[in-house]
Chains A and B, each alone.
Chain A
Amino acid sequence: MGNGKSRTEDSMGFDHTKHLNQWRWGTLAFVADRPTTMRPPPGRQQLSREFIARHQRARIIAALAEETVSRGYRAVTVADIVSRAGIARNTFYENFTSKEDCFLAAQDYAVEEALRRVVEAASAVESWPDRVDAGLAAFLGYVAEEPALARTCIVEALSAGPDSLARYEQSLQAFGPLFRIGRKVSPHGEELPATLEETVIGGIFWVIYQRIIQGDTERIEELRPDLVEFALTPYIGADAAKRALAE
C-alpha cells in the first residue's frame, strides 16, 4: 500500500518503495477502484457503509469462485452465485452487470490482492534475490490460502472467454517490474532478451497452473525453491541463484 514512507536507495542504487508504488499504481490503474482489503481497519468497531459495500462485493466474488470450482465456469449461473452468497438477486445486479462482469472483477480483485501481498513481502527485504524469494513465497501463500479464487483466476480464467484470457495475460505482466530489477544486478543487464520477464512470469504461472489442475494446491508452497531458482537463473546465473537460495 502507498503509505508515503520514503526509503533511501538500497545497496543496488534502487529505491524500491518508490518504484514498487509506481509500479503498483501505474500498472494497475485499471483496478485502482477495486476493494483493497476485505477486513476493516484494526481498532474500528463500527463498520462504515463503504466497508459493507466492499464486503458485499468481495462476498459475491467469493461465491462466484466457489461455484466456478464446483460446477465449472460455463455452467455457473447468476442464480447459483446469488444463492451461494446469500444475497438478493438485485444486490448482485447493483454490483455487477452479468456473470462475465463479475468474473472479470474477480480476476482484478485477485490480482490486486496478490500484488499487494507480493509488494509488501518484497519490500521487507533488501537484496533482489531475497525480494524474488519473499514475493514468490507471499504469492504461493495466497494461492494456498484461497484455493477456490486461485483456481478461478489461474485455471478457469484461461477458458472463460477471450476477454478473460486477455485480462489474464495482461495482469500477469503486473509482476514484471519485480523481475526487471534483476537486470540491474545481472552481469548481462540490458543484453538479456527483451522478453525475459514475460517468459519467466509465464513459466511460473504455468507450473502453478499444472499443480492446481492436478488438485495439488495444498502443497503448492513446496514449489518455492524451484520457482525462485528458475526466476533468478537467467539474470544472475545458476551458481549465484543456488547460492542466494542456500543463504
Chain B
Amino acid sequence: MPADPPNSVDAEHEYPPELSRLPPGRHGLPREFVVHNQRERLIAGLAEAIAENGYASTTIAHITRHAAVSRRTFYEHFNSKDECFVAAYDTVMTELSERIENAFQQESDWPQAVRAGLAAMLEFLAAEPNLARLCMVESLVAGPVVVERYDAAIQGLVPYLEAGREGRSEEVLSRLSSTTEQALVGGMVSLISRRIIAGQAAELEELLPDLVEFALTPYIGSDEASKVARA
C-alpha cells in the first residue's frame, strides 16, 4: 500500500484514509496526491456500489459513479472490477488486522488480550457494515484470488490463540490438538459471517461474551473463561 500523503489524514476521521472521500471538483492539490486519492475514491466507490448491488451485479459504471471519477480514470488504476476489489479488500483487511493487533498487544494478560482483540474486531465490523460485508461475505464470491486471501486472513488469527498455550500445564496441553485453534477461529468467523449475511452487522458487538468464552474455554476451562467473558 502506498504511504499516506501527509495532507490527506484527518485525525478525527474514523476510517483509514484510503476509504475517505475527496470532495469532487477543483482542489488545486499536487498531481501526485490527486492520483493517489483517485485510487482511494475508487476503492470507497466500490465498497458503496457493492453494498448497494452485491458483488456480482456491480459494474464499473456503478463504481465510477459512486467515486465521481471517469471510466478512463478507473482504467488508469485498475484493469478490472476484480482488481479493484482486491485493492479494496486488502485495504480493509489491513486496517482490521492492525486494529486487532493493537488491541491484543495492549493487554499483557492473555485472556484479556483475546477479549480486547475480539472486541476491536467486532467494533470495527459493527461500525462499518458495508466494509464488514465486503470483507466477510462478498470476498468469497469475488473469485479465487480473494478467496485465497480470505483464507489466509482467517488463518492469520490462529497465532493469537496459540499464544494461549504458553505456560499451560502439561495436562492442558495434552488435551489441545493441532487443529484446536483452527476450529476455534473458524467457528467464530462463521458466527460473525452468519450475522452479517442476516443483515445484523450493527449488533455484532453483542456477541463478544459468547465468543470470548468459546475461545478461552479449551485453555483456561469454562468457569474462568465465563468470568473473563462476562466481566
Contact = CB atoms under 8 A, between A and B. Distances in A.
Interface of A: 72, 74, 158-162, 165-166, 169, 172, 188, 191-196, 198-207, 209-210, 213, 223, 225-227, 229-230, 233-234, 237-239, 241-242
Contacts of B191: 195, 198-199, 202
B188 A238 contact: no
Interface of B: 54, 56, 137, 140-141, 143-144, 147, 151, 154-155, 172, 175, 177-180, 182-191, 193-194, 197, 207, 209-211, 213-214, 217-218, 221-222, 226, 229
A202 B186 contact: yes
Given A159-B147, A165-B140, A199-B214, A229 B187 contact: no
Contacts, number: 128
A205 B190 contact: yes
B190 A193 contact: no
Contacts of A227: 179, 183
Contacts of B144: 72, 159
25 contacts: A72-B144, A158-B147, A159-B143, A162-B141, A165-B137, A165-B140, A165-B141, A191-B226, A193-B229, A195-B210, A199-B190, A199-B214, A203-B186, A204-B187, A206-B154, A210-B182, A226-B180, A227-B179, A229-B175, A230-B183, A237-B221, A238-B221, A239-B175, A241-B175, A242-B175
B-side interface mostly: helix
B56 A226 contact: no
B217 A233 contact: yes
Contacts of B151: 210, 213
Contact of A206 (B175, B183, B209): B183
A158 B214 contact: no
